[in-house]
Amino acid sequence: MNQLIKKISILFVIILFLSSCNPASLNKYKTDDIINLNGKLTMAGHHPFQFIALNITNNYQIKLIFKTNKDYDFVSKKIGKEAKVKGKLKVHTLKTADNKNEVTEYRLVVEKIKVKELF
């Protein structure tokens, strides 16, 4: 019986953890909030507008901004790997010229990044 309760509680914690980082949960944050995110490092966009992003879910990514070229070079060699990123959130609201539509873009200024290695 204790094993079953233990397994259910572990499963609940995992589900809670996975559901905590989705695009809807980013709406509660403001510019300059410090947040931690987990996801997969990817390269997004097309040349010459490519950038490194963190895929939080299957269909949502957040752009990563690096303070130094050394950090960017290190992370660019780790594309496709899982990472844990801590940084300062920057929220940008982009509007069309006629102000009829707007999109909120989230960027994360990386302060600390830990890439999960297989070996």
Ordered by where they begin, the domains of the chain are: 2-115 (2.40.50.140)
- CB-based contact 53:101 (threshold 8 Å): no
pLDDT, position 104: 85
pLDDT digits (tens, 9 = 90+) for 88-117: 999 888 888 898 898 888 899 999 999 887
pLDDT, position 28: 73
pLDDT, position 27: 65
pLDDT digits (tens, 9 = 90+) for 12-69: 444 444 444 445 556 677 778 888 989 999 998 888 888 999 998 777 889 999 999 9
Query: Beta 51-57 vs 60-65: how paired, if at all?
Result: antiparallel
pTM across the whole model: 0.70
